[in-house]
Amino acid sequence: MSNVSSEKSWAKEVRNNLNNVSPEAELREWSKHSIYRVPVCIKDLNSKAYKPQLVSFGPFHYGEPQLMPMEEHKHRAMLHFLKRTKQPLENLVAAVEEVVLQLQDSYQKLDERWIKDRDRFVQLMIVDGCFMLEVMCKSTNTVFKYSTPGTRSSVEDYAPNDPIFSAHGMLYTVPYIKRDMLMLENQLPLLLLERLITTAGVPNKTVEHINRLVLRFLAPMARSSGVSLGLHPLDLYRKGLLQGPHPSLAHYRPEATSSEIIRSAMELYEAGIRFKLSRTGSLHDIHFKNGALSLPVIIVDDATEYVFLNLMAFERLHVGAGNEVTSYVFFMDNIIDSAKDVNLLTSKGIIQNAVGSDKAVAKLFNTLAKDVVLEPDSNLDKVQRMVNVYCQKPWNMWRANLLHTYFRSPWAFLSLAAAIFLLVMTVMQTVYTVLPYYEDKSSSPAAPAAPSPQ
Q: Greater confidence, 365 or 393?
A: 365
Q: Say whether both 199 and 283 belong to one domain.
A: no
Name which of 75, 80, 121 is nearest 97 in CA terms: 121
Name which of 300, 290, 279, 284 is nearest 342 in CA terms: 300
Name which of 432, 235, 227 is nearest 314 in CA terms: 235
CA atoms within 13 Å, Cβ hemisphere of 356: 1
Residue 79 lies in domain: 31-207
Torsions phi, psi for 430 (to 5 deg)? -65, -40
Q: Is residue 221 part of a domain?
A: no
Cβ-contact 263, 340 below 8 angstroms: no
Lowest mean pLDDT among 37-46, 56-65, 100-109, 173-182: 37-46
pLDDT surpasses 80 at 372: no
| Amino acid 398: pLDDT | 47
Q: Mean pLDDT throughout 320-334?
A: 90
Q: Which of the listed ranges 12-21, 177-186, 349-358 does the model predict with the highest average pLDDT?
A: 177-186
What percentage of the chain carries pLDDT values higher than 90?
A: 49
Q: Say whether both 202 and 72 belong to one domain.
A: yes
Q: Is residue 436 part of a domain?
A: no
Lowest mean pLDDT among 17-31, 138-152, 165-179: 17-31
Q: Say whether both 197 and 273 belong to one domain.
A: no
| Amino acid 219: pLDDT | 87
Cβ-contact 396, 387 below 8 angstroms: no
Q: Is residue 443 part of a domain?
A: no
Cβ-contact 274, 387 below 8 angstroms: no
- DSSP single-letter state for residue 295: E
Cβ-contact 187, 211 below 8 angstroms: no
Q: Is residue 246 part of a domain?
A: no
Last residue of a domain, one of 366, 381, 404: 404
Q: Say whether both 278 and 396 belong to one domain.
A: yes
Q: Is residue 450 part of a domain?
A: no
| Amino acid 409: pLDDT | 55
Name which of 46, 100, 62 is nearest 187 in CA terms: 62
| Amino acid 402: pLDDT | 46
What is the DSSP annotation of 192-205? HHHHHHHHHT--S-
pLDDT surpasses 80 at 88: yes
Q: Is residue 425 part of a domain?
A: no
Last residue of a domain, one of 173, 190, 207: 207
| Amino acid 155: pLDDT | 77
CB atoms within 10 A of CB 165: 25
pLDDT surpasses 60 at 21: yes
Q: Say whether both 288 and 382 belong to one domain.
A: yes
Cβ-contact 59, 36 below 8 angstroms: no
Q: Is residue 398 part of a domain?
A: yes
Q: Is residue 414 part of a domain?
A: no
pLDDT bucket at 187, cuts 50 / 70 / 90: very high
Last residue of a domain, one of 404, 419, 438: 404
Q: Mean pLDDT throughout 168-172?
A: 95
Give the chain's domain count: 2
| Amino acid 15: pLDDT | 73
For residue 92, CA distances in Å to 130, 260, 292, 404, 416 come to 10, 57, 55, 67, 78
Q: Say whether both 171 and 312 belong to one domain.
A: no
**Which residues have C-beta within 8 Å of that of residue 38, sequence separation ≥ 6?**
50, 184, 185, 313, 317
Q: Say whether both 41 and 186 belong to one domain.
A: yes
pLDDT bucket at 177, cuts 50 / 70 / 90: very high
Q: Say whether both 274 and 202 belong to one domain.
A: no
What percentage of the chain carries pLDDT values higher than 70?
A: 76
Q: Say whether both 52 and 195 belong to one domain.
A: yes
Q: Say whether both 200 and 304 belong to one domain.
A: no
Q: Say whether both 281 and 395 belong to one domain.
A: yes
Q: Say whether both 61 and 185 belong to one domain.
A: yes
| Amino acid 175: pLDDT | 95
Give CA–CA dist 67/56, Å, rounded: 6
| Amino acid 37: pLDDT | 95
